[in-house]
Amino acid sequence: MKLAAFLLLIVSCRFGHCSRRNIVLILTDDQDVELGGMTPMKKTLTLIGDKGVTFTNAFTVTPLCCPSRSAILTGKYPHNHLVRNNSLDGNCSSAQWQKVMEPQVFSVYLKNQGYQTFYAGKYLNQYGHSTVGGTAHVPMGWDHWHGLVSDELSLFRWEIDKHWLLRQARTPMKNTSIAFLDNAFRRRWQTLLSVDDLVEKVINKLGEVKELNNTYIFYTSDHGYHTGQFSLPIDKRQLYEFDIRVPLLVRGPGIKPKQTIKEPILSIDLAPTILNIAGYDVLESMDGSSFLPLMDSSQNKTSWRTDFLVEYTGEGEDKTDPVCPNVGPGVAECFPDCVCEDAFNNTYACVRTLSKSNLQYCEFADSEFFVEVYNLTSDPHQLTNIAKTVDPSLLVKMNQRLIKLESCSGNDCRTIKREDDGFGS
């Protein structure tokens, strides 16, 4: 778990009048929502969430670090802004803000040690012992999901319901994997307690310098994470809720406290929102929209999307992993026990809709042209792929919607939502 905090000071001068707003974006790496990732963040929930808005449906548009951060910085879908090999033109740093925003922007990068190298300081003994083999205090962790998969689903049904990368995972998981994941889950939560302290320090410092009431503070993550779900060891890169849902809390001038907003917000909406706050127009090239009108009642309300695109391009080399020679070429991230987290054809595009229907439709670019469809109202854990049983007309409709979302760019992406607000109803 790493922490990047971009402190953006923006001065907006128009028509001879200058007004200054500070914007702080606190961006964590790999922080989930579905598996209790915000549970350790008591101070953050109080100091940002209770003082402003909590978005309950915030998503990344691609579940891997650099493409998702690039989407935050540019406001574009990955397929529209040259993300190749998980980079934005070979760069994935805070310097991208200078290209997107205006010269009156500076950034401060704060780093908290990742949980794999592990730094939790005074919280070393929280959530049980830090040694492998204990039981982390988790409300919905790998053990629950692992039990659902191994005990309630037959192996045959499991094999035909998910794409091949899920089918190669070993169910039930080995004890070595379970011990590894239990320790990793605990360490992530311990590290988040330190992140929570850092958030408090940033907010306290803004108060000391008399800038807190003049500052918008965003807290979010680049993507989610999994630790054993569907017997995959530990990573992101998957289309499921645990990898694509992210926390999003915002406080600032004009934002009433203790709001909960259900409209779907995407990582591509952050840059347009920050521009909007700074007094600039959303760039024509940006796919996302400003969600400032949703938070601030003084703004003109606009219609909002009910569905969106999630996509990922898989990685994998055309050679065998020497540590796992039996898994064959084309795979990547094979750990532990030689279960692989990625492959060159782990490439997919999905429509996720949150209207009267709560659905996800995904197409894979693999030799099977595999399709996965989930009704998250009746199946919130996405255990059952209904692609072969759902009404074919719905599949056609979602495929057409997917084509639209994949082909749009800039303002066209923002107008799609206004034309098709009834999709999925």
Question: In sequence order, what DSSP letters do the residues of 179-227 get, joined into one string?
Answer: HHHHHHHHHHHHHHHHHHHHHHHHHHHHHHTT-GGGEEEEEEES---BS
Predicted confidence at residue 182, as pLDDT, reads: 82
Residue 168, C-beta contacts closer than 8 angstroms, at least 6 positions apart = 327, 339, 340
Query: Which residues are identified as catalytic?
Result: 65
CATH class of the structural domain 3-303: alpha beta
Which pair of tokens denotes residue 49? Answer: 């969430």
- Detail the DSSP E strand segments found in 40-126: 53-55, 58-59, 83-84, 87-88
User: Would you list the domain boundaries of the chain?
Assistant: 3-303
**Cβ neighbours around 372 below 10 Å, total:** 21
β-bridge mates for residue 235, sequence order: 226
User: CB neighbours (10 Å) of residue 36?
Assistant: 17
**Residue 203 neighbours by CB under 8 Å, 6+ apart:** 47, 48, 212, 217
**DSSP labels, 299-332:** SPP----SEEEEEE-----SSB-TTSGGG-BSEE
Q: What is the pLDDT of residue 414?
A: 87
Report pLDDT for 112: 54
Asked if 337 and 172 touch (Cβ cutoff 8 Å), the reply is no
Structure tokens at 126: 């929280």
**DSSP at 14:** E
Residue 231's pLDDT is 84
147, burial (CB in 10 Å: exposed 0-12, middle 13-18, buried 19+): exposed
Letter for the amino acid at 77?
Y
Are 250 and 218 contacting, i.e. CB atoms less than 8 angstroms apart? yes
Q: How far apart are CA 107 and CA 104, in angstroms?
A: 10
CA-based angle 57:62:63, to the nearest 5?
A: 85
Tens of pLDDT, residues 175-184: 888 888 888 8
82-114 burial: b if 16+ Cβ within 10 Å, else e: ebeebebeeebebebbeebbeeebebeeeebeb
Asked if residues 220 and 53 have their Cβ atoms less than 8 Å apart, the reply is no
Predicted confidence at residue 159, as pLDDT, reads 47
Question: What interhelical angle do 175-208 and 142-152 show, nearest 10?
Answer: 150
Q: Is the dihedral of CA 419, 395, 35, 224 positive or negative?
A: negative
Give the pLDDT of residue 184.
85
What integer pLDDT is reported at residue 270 of this predicted model?
Answer: 96
Residue 131: predicted pLDDT: 36
Residues of the chain scoring pLDDT < 70 = 1-19, 81-121, 129-160, 336, 417-425
CA–CA dist 377, 78 (Å, integer) = 28
What pLDDT, on the 0 to 100 scale, is given for residue 63?
Answer: 94
Closest to 62 measured CA to CA, from 89, 34, 87? 87
Question: Is there a contact between 269 and 78 (Cβ–Cβ < 8 Å)?
Answer: no
